[in-house]
Structure 1
Amino acid sequence: MRIIVTGAAGFIGSHLCERLLKEKENVVIGIDGFIDPALKPIKQRNLGNLLNHPRFQFLNKNLLELDWSKVLAKDDVIFHLAAVPGVRSSWGNNFRLYVENNILVTQRLLEACKTIPIKKLIYASTSSVYGEKIGRVSEDSVPFPLSPYGVTKLTGEYLCKVYSENDGIPITMLRYFTVYGPRQRSDMAFHKFIACIIKKKPIPIYGDGKQTRDFTYIGDCVEGTVSVLHADHVIGETINIGGKERKSILEVVEILEEITGQKTSLDFIGKPRGEPRHTWADITKAEKLLHYSPTVSLKEGLQYELKDLLDLYKEV
């Protein structure tokens, strides 16, 4: 199977490519524009296990400039993960980057898919589209994003629905809930926390630390994502990909103290803007359609991430 992965050098994208290549019938074309030069060394590290693989081809191309007619072929499967991530950085002048890389890039890809009969397009969305909800959140909950980032990802979803309805593009949308694990971005909470422990600095905590998240280990997230390849009855569906455990930020810090054997100090830095107090995924639909069942506990996943970051900070 010929598979295209956009955002292939990113956190989730690189893991996804590695998992897809474990199936010997797959050929993977990874695309990443390295749009933030500061992240280039990290993205090159992410690609370390991929670049010499005989069934992997990497295109270092900006998706705003890519000529899709030279890349797409009949019966391709596309995993569209490329986006500018992050809630806190999506305000102000930065919003232009989110519009270009989350909305315009998606629209250009969908336009290209109008004329080439692809097999499936899987659009990676986010729990940020839901906003503040109470209890487990199912896919039929009315979206109400609290940040510009969430708005751009929801706009991408709506674009997918428009092109699916009008042009018959076979699209499945996945909403990821707080993915973590090895190679997690440096702006994300667990990476920050572990880096502070390694460097013996106070851990920055937004708000009171009692906010909770549905944490999804990267391996579970990728298994759920890959399962769309082989699943029937998923075209046109929106599906939550959540984790095995839901914890507060303070509970996460306690787990990190346990596995590192180090007591930490906390630096409470004020309420975050544009973030819900709680997230909690209803994964009933994923269980039914994708046979999805997350298996990695938060403690186990944090141990994997700690090992990766210890290696990373030895290198720098």
Structure 2
Amino acid sequence: MNILVTGAAGFIGSHLCEKLVENEQVHVTGVDTFIGPTPPSLKKANLTRLENHPRFTLLHENLLTADLERLLDHVDIVYHLAGMPGVRSSWGKDFDPYVTNNIQVTQRLLEAAKNQPLQKFIYASTSSVYGDKQGKVAEDTSLTPLSPYGLTKLAGEHLCYVYRKSFAVPVITVRFFTVYGPRQRPDMAFHRFIRQILTDDTITLYGDGHQSRDFTYIDDCIAGLSAMVDKDGLIGKTINIGGKERATINETLAIIEQLTGKKAAIEYLPALRGEPKHTWADISNAQTLLDYDPRVALREGLACEIAYIRSAYAL
């Protein structure tokens, strides 16, 4: 089986590629153009375990210009994880890369996919498409994104829908809820908090810290994603991938302080535009369709991310 993973050098992509090649019947082609908030040096380090793997091939290609029909030739499953992430930097003149990398790239890939006998086309979306909601959100909840980033990911979902309806592209949509753990992007909150507290820098916290998130540890996220290879009845479905427990930002900072043995100096800044106050995933679909069962508690996951940050920055 041949699987294509776009965004293969990223946080989620690199972990997914490692998991997929555990199956001796699978060959993975990873594509990445090494852009975005993660420095190329960290992205290269993400792929260390895959560098010499006989069933992994890395292509340094830009999906905006690559020959995608050639890329998809003989591919059975596509995981489309590539995109421009981040709410904070999607406003104003910085919006252009979000349009090209989240909308245009997705359209180009779907256009190439319509001519291929794919088994599955898995599109990575985000909880940002929901906007600000109270309580658990199921996949059929109304979608009212609060940021330009969320809008571009929702546009990608709509493109997937029309290509499935018009050309039978076998699309599955996955919405991630705040994934964290080793290799998390440097612009994400836990990565920033841990690095700042370990280097005795002031932690910059946007908002009052009472905002809460459904935190999803990377291993749980990958378990859900990789299960899609062998599961039937997924085409046309949208699936939330959430975590084992929710917490406020203040609660997570208290855990980081305990695990590092250091007291955080916190500078409270105005809340960011485009960020919901709370997120909470209804994972019933994932449990039913994927046998999804998130297992990693927040304290355990944060300990693993702290170990990664110490190693990555020699702290």
Alignment TM class, shorter chain as reference = over 0.9
Following the alignment from structure 1 to structure 2, what is the Cα–Cα distance between the partners of residues 58 and 74? 16
TM-score, with normalisation over the residues of structure 2? 0.98
* Deviation >3 Å, runs of 4+: none
Q: Which amino acid aligns with 1:182?
A: P
Q: Which amino acid aligns with 1:65?
A: T
Alignment gaps of 5+ in structure 2: none
Q: Quote how far apart the aligned CAs of 1:37 are.
A: 9.0
Q: Which amino acid aligns with 2:286?
A: A
Query: Residue 66 of structure 2 corresponds to which residue in structure 1?
Result: 66
Contact 1:118 1:170 in 2 (8 A): yes
Q: Quote how far apart the aligned CAs of 1:215 are.
A: 0.2
2:241 equivalent to 1:241: yes
Following the alignment from structure 1 to structure 2, what is the Cα–Cα distance between the partners of residues 91 and 203? 23
Q: Provide, for residues 261-297 of structure 1, a one-character-per-residue CA deviation record: whole Å limited to 9, x for no partner.
A: 1111111011111000000000011000010000000
TM-score, with normalisation over the residues of structure 1? 0.98
Contact 2:212 2:246 in 1 (8 A): yes
Matched residue of 1:57: which SS?
Answer: strand
Query: Residue 105 of structure 2 corresponds to which residue in structure 1?
Result: 105
Q: Which amino acid aligns with 2:128?
A: S
Larger mean Cα displacement after TM superposition, 187-196 or 259-268? 259-268
Query: Residue 252 of structure 1 corresponds to which residue in structure 2?
Result: 252
Alignment gaps of 5+ in structure 1: none
Following the alignment from structure 1 to structure 2, what is the Cα–Cα distance between the partners of residues 75 and 16? 17
Query: Residue 225 of structure 2 corresponds to which residue in structure 1?
Result: 225
Larger mean Cα displacement after TM superposition, 82-91 or 199-208? 199-208
2:182 equivalent to 1:177: no
Q: Provide, for residues 67-109 of structure 1, a one-character-per-residue CA deviation record: whole Å limited to 9, x for no partner.
A: 0122112451000000000000000111110000000000000
Q: Quote how far apart the aligned CAs of 1:14 are.
A: 0.3
Q: Quote how far apart the aligned CAs of 1:197 are.
A: 1.0
Matched residue of 2:219: which SS?
Answer: helix
Query: Residue 23 of structure 1 corresponds to which residue in structure 2?
Result: 23
Matched residue of 1:220: which SS?
Answer: helix
Matched residue of 1:136: which SS?
Answer: coil
Q: Provide, for residues 222-274 of structure 1, a one-character-per-residue CA deviation record: whole Å limited to 9, x for no partner.
A: 11011111111110000000000100000000000111111111110111110
Following the alignment from structure 2 to structure 1, what is the Cα–Cα distance between the partners of residues 144 and 189? 23
Q: Which amino acid aligns with 2:15?
A: H
Q: Which amino acid aligns with 2:274?
A: G
Following the alignment from structure 1 to structure 2, what is the Cα–Cα distance between the partners of residues 167 and 69? 15
Following the alignment from structure 1 to structure 2, what is the Cα–Cα distance between the partners of residues 75 and 10? 21
Query: Residue 35 of structure 1 corresponds to which residue in structure 2?
Result: 35
Contact 1:239 1:286 in 2 (8 A): yes
Following the alignment from structure 1 to structure 2, what is the Cα–Cα distance between the partners of residues 204 and 120? 41
Contact 2:38 2:185 in 1 (8 A): no
Query: Residue 166 of structure 1 corresponds to which residue in structure 2?
Result: 166
Contact 1:30 1:57 in 2 (8 A): yes
2:122 equivalent to 1:119: no
Following the alignment from structure 1 to structure 2, what is the Cα–Cα distance between the partners of residues 75 and 137? 34
Matched residue of 2:210: which SS?
Answer: coil
Following the alignment from structure 2 to structure 1, what is the Cα–Cα distance between the partners of residues 158 and 42? 31
Q: Quote how far apart the aligned CAs of 1:214 are.
A: 0.2
Query: Residue 200 of structure 1 corresponds to which residue in structure 2?
Result: 200
Q: Quote how far apart the aligned CAs of 1:23 are.
A: 1.0
Query: Residue 96 of structure 1 corresponds to which residue in structure 2?
Result: 96
Contact 1:84 1:101 in 2 (8 A): yes
2:76 equivalent to 1:85: no
Query: Residue 301 of structure 1 corresponds to which residue in structure 2?
Result: 301
Contact 2:198 2:260 in 1 (8 A): no
Following the alignment from structure 1 to structure 2, what is the Cα–Cα distance between the partners of residues 203 and 249? 12
Q: Which amino acid aligns with 2:168?
A: G
Q: Provide, for residues 4-47 of structure 1, a one-character-per-residue CA deviation record: whole Å limited to 9, x for no partner.
A: 00000000000000010111111000000113497211111111
Query: Residue 313 of structure 2 corresponds to which residue in structure 1?
Result: 313
Following the alignment from structure 1 to structure 2, what is the Cα–Cα distance between the partners of residues 276 and 131? 6
**Alignment root-mean-square deviation, CA:** 1.1
Q: Provide, for residues 102-146 of structure 1, a one-character-per-residue CA deviation record: whole Å limited to 9, x for no partner.
A: 000000000001111111100000000000001000000010000
Contact 2:14 2:46 in 1 (8 A): yes
Matched residue of 2:222: which SS?
Answer: helix
Q: Which amino acid aligns with 2:180?
A: Y
Q: Which amino acid aligns with 1:117?
A: P
Following the alignment from structure 1 to structure 2, what is the Cα–Cα distance between the partners of residues 139 and 94? 29
Matched residue of 2:313: which SS?
Answer: helix
The equivalences for 1:260-299 within 5 A come to 260-299=260-299
How many residues are matched?
315
